[in-house]
Amino acid sequence: MRHTTSTDVVPTAFSEYWRPDYKRYIEPFAGSACLFFRLSPPSAVLSDVNESLINALLCVKRDPEYVWKLLCGYSKSESEYYKVRRSLLNLKGDFERAAAFVYLNRFCFNGLYRTNRAGEFNVPYGGDKAGLLPNLETLLGCSRALAVADVVCCDFEETLSNAEAGDFVYIDPPFSVRSRRVFKEYDASLFGLKAILRLKKSLYDLEKRGVSFVLSYAASPEAEFLSSGLSVTHVDVRRTIASFARNRTSAREVIATYRAPDMNAHIGQN
């Protein structure tokens, strides 16, 4: 799925913020949902503006065996890849589109999701370094985890407005950093200044309602703005989506957190 900031730190560093007494796990920028799948919470909301991504998650949730059957009809080759890429917007069936989406995501360059302004997927073939298609066991496991999740296609602001006290929200938006060209083409639009301002307001509203959350963002003036007033730590992460940069080994990332006061008394401070 989406990998705007594919990092090694996500499954380990962020999972420590989750506690079993949270009512729901909420992720408004679902992407690959790797933290969700690691935690396997008892109740969840996964949302994203990427309709193709949400369709793929819903199809895996409903019938993982059929998705796997369709994936078995594809081969790993450059010619097959570009054939599927050209046909993506013309596929009508939900499951056919889901299988094509998974196929392209696994065999494209660096697992990157990018579209042009017409909404056309335009990432080149990944070649020998591309990943492997998920096996049936993996899809079945994903389906079991997704069984407890409401999976919806909507804007992050709508999802966050429905978060309640006792929920845990993980926020990993696409990066839009002025000081450095960070990959930010996601869907057919950009996560720019207006979106950052809307997100900041949403964070403030979450605090007012007593909703605990974790925000991750590339170290930048934008991150400083979003994290102001929050508990902040910095971590070094590995980013694989940085083909435009000379050094792809590590980067600095901000983790900003808010722990609702009533939760602090129960679980203590980090």
Beta bridge mates, 157:
none
Architecture of domain 51-146: Orthogonal Bundle (1.10)
DSSP reduced 3-state for 217: strand
Residue 18: per-residue pLDDT:
92
pLDDT band at 250 (very low <50, low <70, confident <90, very high): low
**Tokens found for residue 127:** 């070649």
Dump pLDDT digits (tens) for 45-72: 999 999 999 999 999 999 999 999 999 9
DSSP designation for 70:
H
Over range 103-111, report the average pLDDT.
90
DSSP designation for 128:
G
Residue 94: per-residue pLDDT:
97
Residue 174: per-residue pLDDT:
83
Give the angle subtended at the CA of 109 by the CAs of 137 and 223, to the nearest 5°.
95
Dump pLDDT digits (tens) for 207-239: 999 999 999 998 889 999 999 999 999 887 765
Chain centroid to CA 78: 26
pTM: 0.85
For domain 1-49+154-265, give its CATH number from 3.40.50.150, 3.90.1480.20, 3.30.10.20, 3.40.50.10490.
3.40.50.150
Chain centroid to CA 114: 13
Residue 15: per-residue pLDDT:
83
Over range 256-266, report the average pLDDT.
71
51-62 helix and 136-146 helix, angle to the nearest 10 degrees: 100
Q: How far is CA 159 from CA 75, 93, 208, 221, 228, in A?
A: 37, 27, 16, 25, 22
Residue 240: per-residue pLDDT:
52
Please tell me the least confidently modeled range out of 38-52, 130-144, 179-193.
Answer: 179-193
Residue 68: per-residue pLDDT:
97
Q: Which residue has the tokens 């380990």?
A: 12
Structural contact between residues 6 and 243, judged by C-beta atoms closer than 8 angstroms: no
Neighbour-count burial of 90, counting CB atoms closer than 10 A to its CB (0-12 exposed, 13-18 middle, 19+ buried): exposed
**Tokens found for residue 206:** 């979450």
Calpha distance 129→20 (Å, rounded): 38
Over range 12-24, report the average pLDDT.
87
**Distance in angstroms between the alpha carbons of the first and the last residue of the chain:** 31
Question: Phi/psi at 37 (nearest 5 deg)?
Answer: -65, -30
Chain centroid to CA 82: 25
Share of the chain above pLDDT 90, in %: 62
Largest Cα–Cα separation, the chain: 58
pLDDT of 190 above 70: no
More confident residue, 11 or 169: 169
Top mean pLDDT of 23-27, 178-182, 230-234, 246-250 is at: 23-27
Residue 57: per-residue pLDDT:
97
Q: What residues does each domain of the chain span?
A: 1-49+154-265, 51-146
Please tell me the least confidently modeled range out of 9-13, 54-58, 77-81, 91-95.
Answer: 9-13
